[in-house]
Structure 1
Amino acid sequence: MQPRIPHQQAAERGPIRVDIEARLTEELAAVVAGARRRALRDGDRQIDTAHLLHSLLESDPEVRALFDSDPQVVRLLGYLVQRSIGYGLRWQSSVEDSGAVPTVTESGWSPVAAGAMEAAYERAVRRGAELAVEVDLLAAIVADPESRAVEVLGRAGADVPALLARIETAAGRGIEA
């Protein structure tokens, strides 16, 4: 039997489709696997940016360190858990789509999440790396103001522009951010 959310490929950006997961470190691939499991468990058709954010927060201390405080991370994780057990029901059977990219319904990725994965890789290349890491993905998912992750962050009281500034400041200090 084929899994409901198969090994994903990004939405087409040109004539060649690129396997998203070939561009990730082992640690980030584990984050993606966690997001895939969460999407399946939640009954969602696609991995969206909120699934990715949830998995990033659970898995990576460097990502958690970029938030204002431990209580903010706890509040955010609590909100994400609520989303997965009830709040997210209003998103089930819908595709996360900011309108900036075409809707993709069979890839296993929401269009916004697929774009974030591509942007994470592009960010890694700009900093001279061959593979994307967790903070690259965090930066990419919070950069789209229409993403579900940004909606979740806002509802949890996170200051998204300040978070992006902290990510860039960390990158300026040579941290993989």
Structure 2
Amino acid sequence: MQPRIPRQQVGEQTVGPRHDNDARLSAELAAVVSGARRRALRDGDRQIDTAHLLHSLLEYDTGARTVFGDGPEIARLLGYLVQRSIGYGLRWQGSVEDSGAVPVVTEAEGLSPLAAGAMEYAHERAAARGGDPALGVDLLAAIVADPGARAVEVLDRAGIDAHEVLSRIEDTLTGTDRPDSWDTSRH
């Protein structure tokens, strides 16, 4: 039986352009994108999806991890993300993550349409703050804003409400110079 996704040769082991070198990303978020790329390659996925980004956010970005706290919620979430890597995510292999809720971004090869849209939305949030590089919480807000995202499915399986996560993100940003133009319900 042949694998559903052909194995990449040694010289082909990159998933699209290197978005982690984007100057609009903070150092932490660049590490997140690199981690998501490695996870996608290790899982045999052709594209980085929002669940890869969520897993890497929890692994590499302290600000995003803080949104979930230290209790049983984060443990359940990490447990489902690990299960995705070893099994239940196999049904996603070979398919493109696209809920149809956001326009397809074709220039961001290597990212699913939803992940590419989330990256752009994270940049928009950062620009609304004054042009600072996008942060992990910007990307977290973007990937949980679309109910069709794989990251939202993982949150649901862990018993975590995506709308509550968005509220927590805004709560963590309270007290900063946050423009009213940020709209986390945009997607």
TM norm structure 1: 0.86
Asked if residue 114 in structure 1 is aligned to residue 116 in structure 2, the reply is: yes
Task: Render the CA deviation track for 1:133-155: whole Å, top value 9, x for unaligned.
Answer: 11110011111111000110011
Number of residue equivalences: 167
Which residue of 2 is the match for residue 167 of structure 1?
169
Higher alpha-carbon deviation: 159-168 or 61-70? 61-70
Higher alpha-carbon deviation: 49-58 or 124-133? 124-133
CA–CA separation in structure 2 for the residues paired with 1:86 and 1:95: 18
Task: Render the CA deviation track for 1:12-41: whole Å, top value 9, x for unaligned.
Answer: xxxxxxx98331011110110000000000
Gaps of 5+ in 1: 10-18
Asked if residue 2 in structure 1 is aligned to residue 4 in structure 2, the reply is: no
Which residue of 2 is the match for residue 99 of structure 1?
100
Superposition deviation, residue 8 in structure 1 = 4.5
Could you say what secondary structure the match of 1:125 adopts?
helix
Could you say what secondary structure the match of 1:108 adopts?
coil
Give the 3 Å change call, closer, same or farther, for CA 117–103 of structure 1 in structure 2. closer
Which residue of 2 is the match for residue 138 of structure 1?
140
Task: Render the CA deviation track for 1:45-94: whole Å, top value 9, x for unaligned.
Answer: 00000000000011122212212552111110010000011011000000
Query: CA RMSD, aligned part only?
Result: 2.2
CA–CA separation in structure 1 for the residues paired with 2:21 and 2:157: 29
CA contact (8 A) 1:75 1:156 kept: yes
Give the 3 Å change call, closer, same or farther, for CA 62–175 of structure 1 in structure 2. farther
Gaps of 5+ in 2: 1-10, 179-187
Higher alpha-carbon deviation: 94-103 or 141-150? 94-103
CA–CA separation in structure 2 for the residues paired with 1:175 and 1:67: 22
Structure 1 vs Structure 2: percent identity of aligned residues? 63
